[in-house]
Amino acid sequence: MRLPARLLPVSAVAAASALLTGCFSGAASDSSAEGGEKRVRVAHMLPPRSGLSPLSDDAFKLSRWSTAETLVKLDVEGDAQPALATKWQQNGKTWTFEIRDGVTFHDGTKLTAEAVVRSITEAAGASPKPRILDGVDLTVKAQGDSVAVTTATEDPLVPQRLSSPQLSILAAKAYEGKTVSPVGAGTGPFELKKVNGTSSASLDRYDDYWGGKAKSPGIDVKFVPDGTARAAALRSGEADIVEAVPVSQAALLEEDQITEVPMPRTNTLYLNTSEGPFKDAALRAAAREAIDAESIVKGVYEDRADVAEGLLGPALPWAADLRSPVKRAKAGDPAGKTITIGTFTDRAELPEVAQTLQQQLQKAGFKVKLEVREYANIESDALAGEFDAFILSRATILDSGDPAAYLYSDFGSKGSFNISQLSDKTVDAALEKASATKAGDARRKAVIEAEAAVLSTDAAVPMLHERVIQGDAAGVVDVAHDPRERELITTETYVK
């Protein structure tokens, strides 16, 4: 999706220039020694949190730079596809993965089954564990050129779990220090050569990559937390690719520099079903009917979000085609009932969303109080059911690319993030079915059935699905626009 261009005020130019001083200075931004090929310059929003350890969220940066790889990867539907493993099969609790031949790490050592075992075992024993292994007990053993992964109970999602960037396979050298270091230890088309704390990183093309030579000679990364500075870096030509352009800056860029990427994130109004006014299904229905999500998208998000048709949005392209109408309760009369809505300030738009909802619900006959705090100071109260309603921006898929875990966590009677305090046997049965179904079309259908079961209770009112704005210079070719934020620079990406 494209945004209109707008002239940048002179004052903004001056402010951004000051922030950008030296942003990509010293980077080989014009060409390399090989045939005049240009390096790709990237401005990231968040600096590394854990020294680029793959056992942290920094793993997603390693994946986006195509330096660290996993046994499998996910396609657009969320199904597992070959990567460092060429094929796999399940036998009860054990999945066996055949390791790709002819792969070398960036230090020249060979990828073996033993190397895979070492990396996954390190991750499984880490504290804290990678998110994708929460509640999962597994053991990994080498069997010739294959690896056997055994879980405590049958798990249909093991291949999807092993696609998580936090389970990247690295050379032995990565584990020699006190922390895991990916420098020179990956298998991808780009070798991580240097990390300068939280300011920058550089990668060079790895010419012995098993998947073929990358088109770009390297990547120069700068971490630029200031959104104005990131946008100005793109506009001034100092960066080729800019992550997370703020909405306020997007309209200041050229139309062909902007791409809006649907994110697997839904802004939802959770309604407390266990006590208070919304224990009554008719009043939950009244709240749902009172909400005008389109006006929130236009007024708060400046039309840079998608009105929700369900809990799962356009980042999961299969969801809309599988849906059918949901039968819900009829709306009752609020009759001046007082409700308290909670939300948090960490996402700047949510307090404004709360104010808009307050007006809409009051127009429908509710009396509405707002409670707005920092997330760290409100989460425990939200989970304890202290509010009648709570506004949350929630990721709908976790590292496996599968939304069943989110649905269970948020709406299962034993879910760990059940803000709605929902306890419904029909919903629980649908969630159990979705969780147990094998990956593929049958599981996707079961997930949508579970979504319908949740929506039929009006325990949650999905309002909108967020987008992230990525900035690409005119000369950038074949950069990825990935809703899961796993891909960015690939073997096909280059700068003209």
DSSP H or E stretch at residue 232: helix 227-236
Query: Residue 16 falls within a domain, yes or no?
Result: no
DSSP 227: H
Residue 287: enclosing H or E segment and its boundaries? helix 281-290
Same domain, 413 and 362: yes
Same domain, 371 and 311: yes
Res. 119: pLDDT tops 70: yes
Q: What is the DSSP letter of 38?
A: B
Query: In this structure, is the dihedral angle defined by the CA atoms of residues 73, 75, 76 and 77, taken in order, positive or negative?
Result: negative
CB atoms within 10 A of CB 234: 24
pLDDT at position 12: 42
pLDDT over 60 at 174, yes or no: yes
304-309 mean pLDDT: 94
Residue finishing a domain among 118, 145, 173 = 173
Q: Is 244 exposed, middle or buried (0-12, 13-18, 19+ CB in 10 A)?
A: middle
Task: Convert the pLDDT of each residue in 269-284 to its tens digit.
Answer: 999 999 999 999 999 9
Residue 7 falls within a domain, yes or no?
A: no
Does 259 map to a domain?
A: no
The 10s digit of each residue's pLDDT in 377-409 is: 999 999 999 999 999 999 898 677 889 989 998
Dihedral sign, Cα of residue 486, residue 488, residue 489, residue 493: positive
Q: Residue 19 falls within a domain, yes or no?
A: no
Whole-structure pTM value: 0.81
Of the CA atoms within 13 Å of residue 284, those in its CB half-sphere come to 28
Residues 320 and 436 occupy one common structural domain: yes
pLDDT band at 25 (very low <50, low <70, confident <90, very high): low
Is the same domain home to 166 and 227? no
User: What percent of the chain has pLDDT above 90?
Assistant: 77
- Tell me the CATH number at 211: 3.40.190.10
Residues 125-147 pLDDT 10s: 998 888 788 778 899 999 999 99
Q: What is the pLDDT of residue 9?
A: 41
One domain, residues 293 and 350: yes
3-class SS string, 297-311: HHHCCCCCEEECCCC
Under the banding of pLDDT at 50, 70 and 90, the label for residue 7 is very low
- The answer to whether 463 touches 183, Cβ cutoff 8 Å, is no
DSSP helix/strand/coil, 436? helix
User: What is the b/e burial string over 326-352, where b = at least 16 CB atoms within 10 angstroms of the residue's CB?
Assistant: eeebebbebeebebbbbbbeeeebbbe
Express each pLDDT in 437-485 by its tens digit: 998 999 999 999 999 999 999 999 999 999 989 999 999 999 999 998 8
Residue 460: left (phi > 0), alpha (psi -120 to 50), or beta?
A: beta
Cα angle 62-65-70, degrees, rounded to a multiple of 5: 50
Residue 29, in any domain of the structure: no
In a domain, 269, yes or no: yes
Please name the amino acid found at residue 71.
Answer: L
Mean pLDDT of 19-46: 63
Phi, psi of 19, deg, nearest 5:
-70, -25
Residue 183 located in a structural domain: no
**Measured between alpha carbons, how far apart are the two ends of the chain, in Å?**
23
Average model confidence (pLDDT) across the chain: 91
**Number of structural domains in the chain:** 3
At what angle are helices 349-363 and 281-290 packed, to 10 degrees? 110
Same domain, 299 and 215: no
Residue 32 covered by a domain: no
pLDDT in tens, 317-369: 999 999 999 999 999 999 999 999 999 998 888 999 999 999 999 999 999 99
Would you state the torsion angle of the CA atoms of residues 21, 44, 188, 220, taken in this order, to the nearest 10 degrees?
Answer: -10
Are residues 321 and 454 part of one domain?
yes
Q: How far apart are alpha carbons 287 and 459 in whole angstroms?
A: 10
Whether 41 and 76 share a structural domain = no
- Phi/psi region, residue 184 (left: phi>0; alpha: psi -120 to 50; beta: rest), is left
* Single-letter amino acid code for the residue at 177: G
Cα 407-81-479 angle, rounded to 5 deg:
90
Rounded CA separation 224/45 (Å) = 5
Are residues 318 and 431 both part of a single domain? Answer: yes
DSSP β-ladder status, 218-223 and 241-242: unpaired
Q: Phi first, then psi: give them for residue 469, nearest 5 degrees.
A: -105, 120
What is the distance between the alpha carbons of residues 237 and 74, in angstroms, rounded to a whole number? 33
CATH of the domain at 111: 3.90.76.10
- In this predicted structure, the answer to whether residue 227 has a pLDDT above a threshold of 70 is yes
Residue carrying the six token digits 């798990």? 155
pLDDT at 24: 61
Which CATH number characterizes residue 345's domain? 3.10.105.10
Residue 17 confidence class, pLDDT cut points 50, 70, 90? very low
pLDDT tops 90 at residue 30: no
pLDDT of 414 above 70: yes
Neighbouring C-beta atoms of residue 302, cutoff 10 Å? 14
2 pLDDT more than 60 = no
Same domain assignment for residues 331 and 462: yes
Q: Does 204 share its domain with 78?
A: no
List Cα–Cα distances, 249 to 90, 265, 288, in angstroms. 49, 21, 33
Place of tokens 């000369």: 475
Residue 36: what pLDDT? 40
Is pLDDT above 50 for 229?
yes
Domain span holding position 125:
69-173
Contacts of 180 (CB under 8 A, 6+ apart): 53, 54, 55, 122, 170, 174
Tell me, what amino acid is at 259?
A: T
pLDDT at 133: 84
Q: Examine the pLDDT at 26 and tell me if it is beyond 60.
A: no
- Residues 152, 88: one domain? yes
